[in-house]
Homo-oligomer: A and B are copies of this chain.
Amino acid sequence: MDWLPTFDVIRLGHRVDRDKRMTSHLGLTARALGADGMVIFGDHDPSIVQTLTEVSGRFGGKFNARFGTNPMGYLKKFKQGGEDCPAGTVIHLTMYGESHLEALPKVRRDRPVALVVGGAKVPGELFGIADYNVSVGNQPHSEVAALAITMSEWFKSVALESRFSNPEIKVLPSKSGKSIFDRKKEPL
């Protein structure tokens, strides 16, 4: 396969006054675990896109954060595919869904994936549009936790460091303190 399928996180129902931090945590988590981008629906809030784009500028790699309109229309079109893109799979994260351990192995890996994370009000229609309604346990938890566990199961860990090319700043793993490489201070 010479074509690598994309993996995008879809955030529904963003509210500018309440969800800034949660949506930005979702975006950072999506990026750190290997998503190609995030499409945000709900209130228009350019600061979120800016934050995520800045992080990519500093810590490397590409992450395509953007806003969308008409989420259900977007997902239906995504499933159909088109001339330039093959038909995609919609996975909906919900505490009401079947276990991720059961669902994820069924999902085709040669097609684009849209992983949908709900917000305040998820339309009932979504359960029908989704190819898979997937839960990470059926106890109340957090959409960030559900995203993190599902993505780390899908990609089998966090994203490889090689994905984050050309960073300004690179954090180096350390057992005892903070170890940071800063290109501005010490060029490669």
On A, residues with C-beta under 8 Å from B are 21-22, 25-26, 28-29, 31-33, 55, 59, 95-99, 101, 124, 127-128, 132-133, 135-142, 144-149, 152, 157-159, 161, 164, 170-180
Contact = CB atoms under 8 A, between A and B. Distances in A.
A60 to B, nearest CB: 8
A173 B135 contact: yes
With most chain B CB atoms within 10 A of its CB, the pick from A137, A139, A152, A179 is: A139
Given A97-B174, A171-B96, A172-B138, A145 B32 contact: yes
Contacts of A144: 25, 29, 142, 144-145, 148
A145 B25 contact: yes
